[in-house]
Amino acid sequence: RKEVEQDPGPFNVPEGATVAFNCTYSNSASQSFFWYRQDCRKEPKLLMSVYSSGNEDGRFTAQLNRASQYISLLIRDSKLSDSATYLCVVINAGNNRKLIWGLGTSLAVNP
């Protein structure tokens, strides 16, 4: 089983739709969680950190469920510019703090 797993998609949604991605992780001792966004042939960019209490940034909401070992990303009112690959990242305690990446979920927002 991979340490971090995501549904690769692609998710094709119309503008204005709400879309949710899940990411599961295998190590119960995982400590920190992030969502990154990567545009085609570009570098990943931090979208948001994920906190135990959940956090929201505009149209984006991230949740952490430690009991079920998954994190989620909800995008409301999708825009064309949201089209990208969304990568889930986990840091495990005592693992030299290296980031463990999912393969990413591809999102295409259509007009």
Partner 1 sequence: ETGVTQSPTHLIKTRGQQVTLRCSSQSGHNTVSWYQQALGQGPQFIFQYYREEENGRGNFPPRFSGLQFPNYSSELNVNALELDDSALYLCASSTPGALGDTQYFGPGTRLTVL
Q: Where does this chain bind partner 1 (CB under 8 A)? A: 31-32, 34, 41-46, 49, 87, 91, 95-104
| Minimum gap (Å) between residue 91 Cβ and partner 1 | 4
How many whole angstroms separate alpha carbon 48 and alpha carbon 37? Answer: 9
- What does DSSP assign to residue 93? T
**Residue position matching structure tokens 């709400």:** 18
Q: Tokens representing 15?
A: 């503008």
Instruction: Select 70 or 76, whichever has its Cβ closest to partner 1.
Output: 70
Residue 29 Cβ, how far from partner 1 at the closest point, in Å? 13
Among residues 19 and 89, whose Cβ is nearest to partner 1?
A: 89
Shortest reach from residue 97's CB to partner 1, in Å = 6
CA-to-CA dists, residue 16 to 30, 37, 63, 79, 82, angstroms: 34, 19, 21, 6, 11
Instruction: CB nearer to partner 1: give 74 or 99.
Output: 99
**Minimum CB separation from partner 1 for residue 34, in Å?**
8
3-class secondary-structure state, position 63: strand
